Amino acid sequence: MTAEAHGIWVVLPAGVGHPGRVIAEVLGEAKRLADDTGTEAVAVSIGAGEPDEAPDDLASWGAARILQCRASELGTFHPERFAAATAAAIRARVPQVVLFPGTSIGVDLGLRTALIMKRRFMSGCVDFAISDDNMRVTRPAAGGALQTTELIAEAPYLVSLIPDTVGSALPEAGRVAVLDEFDCPAPPATSLRDGGFAPGDPKTIDLVHAEIIVAGGRGAGGAEGFAVIEEVANLVGGSVGASRPAVEAGWAPYERQVGQTGRTVSPKLYMACGISGATQHLAGMRESTTVITINTDAAAPINSVAKLAVVGDVQEVLAALARMLRERRVARAA
Amino acid sequence: MTDEHRVIEIVVCVSPSMEDERRHAPWRFLYELELRAVELARLLGKRDDVHTTAVSVGPPGPTSQVLTECLARGIDQAVQVGDDWVEDGLGVAACLAEALRPVAPELIICAQRSGTGAHGVVPAALADRLGLPMVSNRA
């Protein structure tokens, strides 16, 4: 198989929303390996439709060829169907290396593909080197205290790269990739049924994805104030956020922190309660569609980005708001 | 046994403890992600008709440490498999498959990654060997 194996593949399941930086990094690594071995880096899109990434982006990140493996039966991402399609494409085109993005979906797809092909999958690699008849991979071991080096003897080598290890090279505009297609055979019957997407719980989702955030700061009035903030957040179906001083005071956990040293958020509604609006905080929520503030100080910098600025005590205003929301809920239920 | 008295068997797979892990937390042997798998099994095992078993493949010392912790955390039964380190995830999956085939559990819970290899190979390979569907990346 090794003799005719050709190309360094990066498998991109369509419709799973992989971050561009992850794809850029894997494609950059594929290009490096391709340059080392005198072959080409190929972005392989698996799915019913177009790849998520624009062809120009894929080319600028290092893909010399874009192979679209399509079958209408593939539908939205399904681990078993997509693995079958990936394995079929690998068998038909015989690449030398198949890189999977080191995301949870990428690694899952790699594992399942490898099992279909009865091969080994080396997940969680941090470095690769290809020689004539083997590939050497380096992986962290013992919680990162050690690194192990292993050899894979027979191509195609199926591997994944841990994201953010080698970093991505600067994209080179002007590169052009050849467009290529592969008609996937109809995927086999599967044992998993797609139950569709369900929205995440606003209480626990990452603030980055939250549509409504009710955030508290130093003026929120301690843990008690945060209890009211949480109540309002629950009533409006929102998530709790916090400024750095509130997190440092222990009123909210770090993953709720908005700002330069926390999450950068862009919800449809951001309610800043008792937050003065330090530059570092503004940097993390400036992109919110609508900002409402509650603050005792009318001159607080946060009011410069507010559509509605309520001047008053956070706990008083929020308690009144919570009461109103509860009454409205009762009225609606009646 | 009649159908009303049917016992649902749930298995949780855990990796043997390693020196390295213990250095950081000498009172604890279970790796963090596996702790969640064990806790999920325990919660499901609260029902009267559910019986939970923890399984670990490896040398007696490190496996009994981790399995003892599973029992202390509320798992009903512990099974140790093998007598030496099985380095490779595919090998571990093969051992687990042989041990679990006669048990025919309703549900097998694995952590997304183990504390030893941490390559995430075992669950997929185990499902493949037993011919069972695998649902991955559950929160």
Domain ranges of chain B: 3-129
A230 and A153 co-located in one domain: no
Note whether A115 contacts B: Cβ–Cβ < 8 A: yes
Strand order in the sheet with A239-242: A239-242, A212-216, A269-273, A290-295, A308-311
Instruction: State the residue range of the domain holding A171.
Output: 8-183
Note whether A137 and A159 are within 8 A (CB). yes
Measured CB to CB, residues of chain B less than 8 Å from chain A are 18, 20-21, 90, 112, 115, 117-121, 124-125, 128, 132-137
Burial class (CB in 10 A: 0-12, 13-18, 19+), A271: buried
Query: Contacts of residue B124 in chain A, CB cutoff 8 Å?
Result: 108, 111-112, 115
Give the confidence band of B6 by pLDDT, cuts at 50, 70, 90.
Answer: confident
Does A190 fall in a domain? no
> Given a cut of 90, is residue A143 above it in pLDDT?
no
Name the residue type at position B121: V
Percent of chain A at pLDDT > 70 equals 98
Give the confidence band of B24 by pLDDT, cuts at 50, 70, 90.
Answer: low
Query: B88: nearest CA in chain A?
Result: A120
Report how far residue B63's alpha carbon sits from residue B17's, in angstroms, rounded to the nearest whole number: 7
CB atoms within 10 A of CB B60: 13
A250 and A158 co-located in one domain: no
Report how far residue A14's alpha carbon sits from residue A100's, in angstroms, rounded to the nearest whole number: 13
What mean pLDDT is predicted for residues A67-90?
90
Mutation site, A107, A138, A162, interface B, largest B CB count within 10 A = A107
Total domains, chain A: 2
Question: Is B124 in contact with A124 (Cβ distance < 8 A)?
Answer: no
| Beta-carbon contacts of residue B121 (< 8 Å; ≥ 6 apart) | A111, A121, A123, B88, B89, B90, B93
| Prediction ipTM score | 0.80
Confidence (pLDDT) at A2? 41
| B93-135 confidence digits (pLDDT tens) | 999 999 999 888 999 999 877 666 667 788 989 998 998 988 8
Strand order in the sheet with B77-81: B77-81, B50-57, B8-13, B107-110
Structure tokens at B132: 């069972």
Mutation site, B17, B18, B20, interface A, largest A CB count within 10 A = B20
Query: Contacts of residue A143 in chain B, CB cutoff 8 Å?
Result: 20-21, 115, 118
A47 and A161 co-located in one domain: yes
A254 and A306 co-located in one domain: yes
What mean pLDDT is predicted for residues A243-270?
94
Query: Contacts of residue B119 in chain A, CB cutoff 8 Å?
Result: 122-124, 139
Cβ–Cβ pairs < 8 A, chains A and B? 45
Note whether A296 and A219 are within 8 A (CB). yes
In CATH terms, B3-129 corresponds, of 3.40.50.620, 3.40.50.300, 3.40.50.10540, 3.30.70.141, to 3.40.50.620
Note whether A293 and A215 are within 8 A (CB). no
Question: Is B124 in contact with A142 (Cβ distance < 8 A)?
Answer: no
Dihedral of CA atoms A71, A76, A77, A78 in degrees, nearest 10, equals -80
Query: B132: nearest CA in chain A?
Result: A191
Does A243 fall in a domain? yes
CATH (domain of A75):
3.40.50.620
Predicted structure pTM score: 0.73
Mean of pLDDT over chain A:
91
What mean pLDDT is predicted for residues B70-92?
91
Note whether A108 contacts B: Cβ–Cβ < 8 A: yes
A66 and A174 co-located in one domain: yes
Report how far residue A102's alpha carbon sits from residue B115's, in angstroms, rounded to the nearest whole number: 18
Does A199 fall in a domain? no
